[in-house]
Amino acid sequence: MPIYGVIHALEHAWREGYQRFWLESDSSLVHHGFLDQLVVPWSFRGRWSPCLHFCKHMQFKVSHVFHEENHCIDKLVNLVLIYRKQY
C-alpha cells in the first residue's frame, strides 16, 4: 500500500531532521490523504496523524504524478531492491 511507504519516508525524514521534503506519488490516495485525513484507511491513521504534524514543521510539498511519468523512478527502485538482495 503506497500510504505505508509515505508514512515510513516521512517518519525517517523527521528523525533525520530534514527541513525540506518534496513528495511525489502516483497514488491519488496519498495526495488526498493530505487534504482529508478520513480517506486514509483507519489502520494507518495512528501513524498518519503524526506525519501530518511533521509536514507542518518543515517546508513540505506533495505532488501527484501520473504512473506513466513515473517509469524512471520505478526502474531506480527496482535496482535498489535488487542491490539490497545481493548484499
Of all residues in the chain, what percent are helix, strand and coil, respectively (each to 5)? 70, 15, 15
Number of neighbours of residue 66 by Cβ within 10 angstroms: 8
pLDDT in tens, 6-17: 999 999 999 999
Q: What is the pLDDT of residues 44-70, one digit of tens each?
A: 999 999 999 999 999 999 887 776 655
Domain CATH for 61: 3.30.420.10
Structurally, how many domains does the chain consist of? 1
What is the SS3 assignment for 57? coil
Q: Is residue 71's pLDDT more than 70?
A: no
Give the residue among 50, 42, 65, 68 at the shortest CA–CA distance from 8: 50
Q: Structural domain of residue 62, as residue ranges?
A: 2-86
